[in-house]
Amino acid sequence: MAEKKWNDIQERGNLIFFEIMFFFYRVGGRALFNFILFFVIFWYWIFSPLARQSSYEYLTNVHNYFKENSPFRKKPNIFSTYKHLYYFGYTLLEKMFGWFGVVTEENIKLFGWDCFHENYQKGAVIIVSHFGNVEIIRSLRGHRQKINVLVYTKHSESYNRMLNKYAKKNKVELIPIEKIDIAEALLLQEKIAQGEWVLIAADRVPVHSKRVISCDFLGKAADWPIGPWLLANLLECPVISLFCYFNQDQYEIHIGEMYRKIEYTRENRDKIIKEAIEEYALILEKHCQEKPYLWFNFFKFWNDYA
């Protein structure tokens, strides 16, 4: 049997699941959502050995990498993987909050005001990962920043349909992409020139390409895509990291400039991109230590995956 790729898992884990859970949220609010979510995640946890194994590997790597500074009191076990999956499911409710404007600015703490204001309504490449819920940035009061999210083609039509259906004041456009060709490059350059942000995930390898660089993450080698960094160089604009998640009694938005402009030559391209990936991996590690259950990795990631 062919190994499932992340894009197939993502399709099942988001689109159908979202529609089902949104129905329960509309009918019974948060209480019914949480009640149903318990059983839905339990079913998924039982019948998805790849998700359990991948979650366990990630959580164990976090624990072993940070050692005495581990966010866990003891080594994660099989039940920790259920909690990890439950957090993933609950994030879908938080996406709804972001779309509907349920979260107010009073519930948000923004780390990196200077970076946000300096790049507000100015072109920038926003580097994200599958960590927490970046939808929360839409809840900032007066936020009129247009955001373009680059997504795998297979998902774009369904996600755009959901955004148009549920987010009436949507300022997010999903752009289907498998590889950057001339037409897509010109489109993105135009959006940058208009002061829009282009958001791209840096923790998913290409579906139809082997353009990756191996870098350590949580103490083990993993392949990372070079596409986000090639794009940032092509668009000649600031490169910014973004993380959004709930912490204690409020949402936190962490935004920081990585590069004013990423530049390289043909000779040193791989070296510069590897340094950028290593820098981003360190940022992601810091957030994984703070909130280990919020990085949603349920597929093969590390090169030594069993």
Is the residue at 303 inside a domain?
no
Which range (16-20, 72-76, 241-245) has the least confidence?
16-20
Determine the pLDDT at residue 166. 63
Residue 214 pLDDT > 90: yes
Q: How many angstroms separate the CA atoms of 5 and 291, rounded?
A: 26
30, 70, 116, 134, 271 from 254: Cα distances, Å: 26, 21, 10, 10, 27
Instruction: Decide if 176 is inside a domain.
Output: yes
- Domain contains 302: no
Q: How many domains does one find in the chain? A: 1
Reduced to 3 states, what is the DSSP secondary structure of residue 284? helix
pLDDT tens, residue by residue, 53-76: 999 999 999 999 999 999 999 999
List the single range of 1-5, 36-40, 78-82, 138-142 with lowest mean pLDDT.
1-5
Domain annotation covers residue 142 = yes
Number of other residues whose CB lies within 10 A of the CB of residue 190: 11
d(CA 230, CA 239): 11
User: Which residue stretches of the chain are H helix?
Assistant: 6-11, 17-47, 49-66, 78-100, 113-119, 153-166, 182-193, 227-235, 269-290
Does residue 300 lie within any of the structural domains? no
- 8-state DSSP, 13: I
Position 140 in a domain: yes
Distance CA 273, CA 295 (A): 23
Q: Which of 11-25, 55-69, 93-107, 216-230 has the lowest mean pLDDT?
A: 11-25
Residue 32 lies in a domain: yes
Reduced to 3 states, what is the DSSP secondary structure of residue 267? coil
> Is 141 a member of any domain?
yes
Determine the straight-line distance between the first and last CA of the chain, rounded to whole angstroms: 17
CA 62 – CA 58 distance, rounded (Å) = 6
Q: Return d(Cα 180, Cα 235) in angstroms, integer.
A: 12
User: pLDDT of 280-293, one tens digit each?
Assistant: 999 999 999 999 99
Determine which helix (DSSP H) or strand (DSSP E) holds 132, and give its type and residue range. Answer: none
The domain in which residue 74 lies consists of: 6-294
- Mean pLDDT over each residue of the chain, to the nearest integer: 85
| 25 token code pair | 């949220």
User: Is the CB of residue 175 less than 8 Å from the CB of residue 150?
Assistant: yes
Euclidean distance between CA atoms 4 and 304, whole angstroms: 17
Compute φ and ψ for 79, nearest 5 degrees.
Answer: -75, -25
What would the pLDDT profile of 224-237 be if each residue is shown by its tens digit? 999 999 999 999 99
Mean pLDDT of 125-142: 84
